[in-house]
Amino acid sequence: MRRLLALCFLAMLARVGAAAPAGGPNGAIECIVPSKPGGAMDLTCKLVRDGLKGLPDQAGRPLRLSYLPGGIGAVAWHSLVSSRRGDANTLVAFSGGSLLNLAQGKFGKARPADVRWVAALGADYGMIAVRSGSPYRTLADLIAALKRHPSRVLIGVSGTIGSQDWLKMALLVRSAGIDPKVLRFVALEGGGEAFTAMQADFVHVVSGDASEAHLMSANGKVRVLAVLSEGRLPGALAGVPTAREQGYDVVWPTIRGIWMGPQASEADYRRWVQTFDRMMATPDFARLRTAAGLYPLSLTGPALTDYVQKAVDDYGKRASQLGLMR
């Protein structure tokens, strides 16, 4: 059975590689979204697209978004690492959730050093949301319901047990004295799908990211119960209390950025690092980042590579403490 699954996975990767052609050194740019449309990974590639338009030497170059959902980033990772290792103009979105999956071995034997880390575009934070018509008006309401009847509350998360969204909720309820094992989680592919499932009443709660809530709350159909940040966030979610304010000491920051294949030339890698350095130094990019619901965090090249390795090591220790490591 395992052999059959492995063969199916390799066949899927072959189809994915064939469907997404590489860009030339002076040609179109491709930004791969490793999830379905609508979530924060999608937002990351769109931020790259809009930010590059503000640079004179990039303004005329087309940027195409490609969606490669599967395994919460695993399909996109293995597609580039196995068959498109040297693409000069193919970028892939990543988040803290990607690094958590790396730490837990969910990408197989993959290591941070297997790819080239280009740029961190901003910081995000975890959040807990319900539909605007939900009976849970505060985080305390939700926690009380989970204590009374945990099996009646369906919680939508991107990924399975041990994923970033699962871990946020697990830490939150554990701080309230609830065993995460009694909760009913519904595994979905990306934040966009989780919010869609909540609007369809397939799940009652979403554990996700503030940037996603920033986008989804604009239509008035979403109520954010808490943000998992040190203090209240500015902008559209300024009125949302933190989990800490409500008595639950859980903070979950999330990095959002871009990587490229491991055999991209040193010249192409440096070119992209320098391009993102210039892009993120512009006032226009700061405005775009704020509009996307992200917060300042700019790292590129070796500084980002060091950050990623340390983050993976830290996530591995935290996952081990929760008994999640394979």
- CATH class assigned to 2-123+254-321: alpha beta
Domain ranges of the chain: 2-123+254-321, 125-253
User: ∠ CA 30-34-37 to the nearest 5 degrees?
Assistant: 90
- Averages of pLDDT over runs of 10 residues in the chain (326 residues) are 40 40 62 90 95 92 92 86 88 93 89 96 96 96 96 91 89 93 90 90 95 81 95 91 96 95 95 97 95 92 97 87 69
- Write down the pLDDT at residue 191: 82
- Write down the pLDDT at residue 159: 79
Nearest by Cα to 301 from 264, 246, 326 = 264
Fold match flag (2-123+254-321 vs 125-253): yes
- Write down the pLDDT at residue 10: 41
- Write down the pLDDT at residue 42: 93
- CATH class assigned to 125-253: alpha beta
What DSSP string runs through 59-86?
TTS-EEEEE--SGGGHHHHHHHHHH-TT
